[in-house]
Amino acid sequence: MIKHDYIENSVVDGELLLFRTLWNNSDDNMFIVRLNADGEFISEASNRSLEQTFGLEMNQIDGLNLKDILDEATFETVSSRYEECIRLRKPITYDESVIIDGENERFWNTTILPVIDERNGTCKIFGISREVTKLHDAQKELSHLNKTLENKVQLRTEELSVALEHVRKLSQMDKLTGLLPTNNKH
């Protein structure tokens, strides 16, 4: 029995070490939000990357109600996603955008998953967001280039149609007189 407890504790400690390493070194934003007894979402922890992204001090938002740190529209969107994740009891992935510095919109691909401990009745959301602003901008630029190319192809097609009609007329022209044949049939 003692050996089994030791092995189980070693696995838990090893998993915790892996998680802490990821948490402390990832460039992706990570966060943990707790659902309290009143049904409110409380920021429990955020990693260094998230704090840097939003210009926060270490642990600045830990313990705060999301309702108090997000604008109303953002809170409604976020809380409905968290509620759905908990209700479904499975991860949810979605794209989102945020204007951080008051000017530039930035884009993230976010996955949230419920962490429900039936033994003590706690419910948390673990989330990880990867910034995809560069990818979004590249897709936008590619779309613009695609539209430009489509316009050029359409213009060239029209030019070729005109040239083809001119060639068709030239091919019917009498070489000696330069006149088009008449359609008079005797």
- Same domain membership, residue 72 and residue 140: no
User: Looking at the domain assignment, is residue 114 inside a domain?
Assistant: yes
The total of structural domains in the chain comes to 2
User: Looking at the domain assignment, is residue 145 inside a domain?
Assistant: yes
- Same domain membership, residue 153 and residue 106: no
CA–CA separation, 32 and 36 (whole Å): 13
User: Looking at the domain assignment, is residue 1 inside a domain?
Assistant: no
- Same domain membership, residue 113 and residue 43: yes
pLDDT tens track for 86-133: 999 999 999 988 777 677 888 889 999 999 988 888 899 999 999 998
CA–CA separation, 184 and 186 (whole Å): 6
Q: Name the band, by pLDDT with cuts 50, 70 and 90, for residue 184.
A: low
Q: Name the band, by pLDDT with cuts 50, 70 and 90, for residue 9.
A: low
User: Looking at the domain assignment, is residue 150 inside a domain?
Assistant: yes
User: In degrees rounded to 5, what are phi and psi of residue 84?
Assistant: -65, -45
- Same domain membership, residue 100 and residue 167: no
User: Looking at the domain assignment, is residue 97 inside a domain?
Assistant: yes
- DSSP strand pairing (92-99 vs 41-46): unpaired
- Same domain membership, residue 169 and residue 113: no
Q: Name the band, by pLDDT with cuts 50, 70 and 90, for residue 47.
A: very high
Burial class for 26, CB neighbours closer than 10 Å (0-12, 13-18, 19+): middle
Is the pLDDT at 71 greater than 90? The verdict is no
User: Looking at the domain assignment, is residue 12 inside a domain?
Assistant: no
- Same domain membership, residue 87 and residue 141: no
Which residue segment(s) compose the domain that 177 sits in? 133-186
User: Regarding predicted confidence, which is higher, 20 or 92?
Assistant: 92
Mean pLDDT of 26-54: 91
Q: Name the band, by pLDDT with cuts 50, 70 and 90, for residue 10.
A: low
- Answer for the pair 28, 119: CB distance below 8 angstroms, yes or no: no
- Same domain membership, residue 125 and residue 65: yes
Tokens of 123: 């419910």
Is the pLDDT at 150 greater than 80? The verdict is yes
What percent of the chain is modeled with pLDDT above 70?
A: 90
User: Looking at the domain assignment, is residue 57 inside a domain?
Assistant: yes
- Answer for the pair 36, 120: CB distance below 8 angstroms, yes or no: no
CA–CA separation, 169 and 182 (whole Å): 13
User: Looking at the domain assignment, is residue 15 inside a domain?
Assistant: no
- Cβ density class 45-55: b for 16+ within 10 Å, e for less: bbbbbbbebee
